[in-house]
Amino acid sequence: MHRQVAGHHRRARGTGPPAHRLRARRAPTEEVPDMPSTADERQLLDELRDLLAATVEDLTVEEIGPDSSLQDDLGVDSLARLELVAAIEDRWQIEVPQEQADRLTTVRQIAAHLAEAVAAPAGGTA
């Protein structure tokens, strides 16, 4: 049951899904103010979004914004996170230590980390 209240729809109590089953999603943004700042970094972000969509089931590139939280916005669970880290390591030939991977919670953070790792001399860890 819906009712109109000052230009907003309001759902009557008890008629929707339980709150613990709802998942907020931010709309992807086209503007990326802080990172990436160069064409190479934008390309890296696009490649990361493609890889994320290919790795995580039922996720499309259009759903992935630069500030999307892996867990909260995109529903990436611990197994999908491990698969993503493995795919990143394979794709960019870098090593991402687990404790470092755990601190990367948004797409933008991963892209910034990748930009640093790709720019680092070969043979180091990311």
User: How far apart (Å, rounded) are the C-alpha atoms in residues 22 and 84?
Assistant: 24
- On the question of pLDDT at 96 being above 70, the answer is yes
Rounded percentage of the chain residues whose pLDDT exceeds 90: 52
- On the question of pLDDT at 52 being above 80, the answer is yes
The residue among 14 and 54 whose pLDDT is bigger is 54
Q: How far is CA 108 from CA 8, 14, 114, in A?
A: 32, 37, 10
Task: Give the model confidence (pLDDT) of 11-41 as tens digits.
Answer: 555 555 555 555 556 555 444 344 445 777 7
Domain 35-119 grouped into CATH 1.20.1250.20: no
The residue among 88 and 16 whose pLDDT is bigger is 88
**Sequence spans of domains, the chain:** 35-119
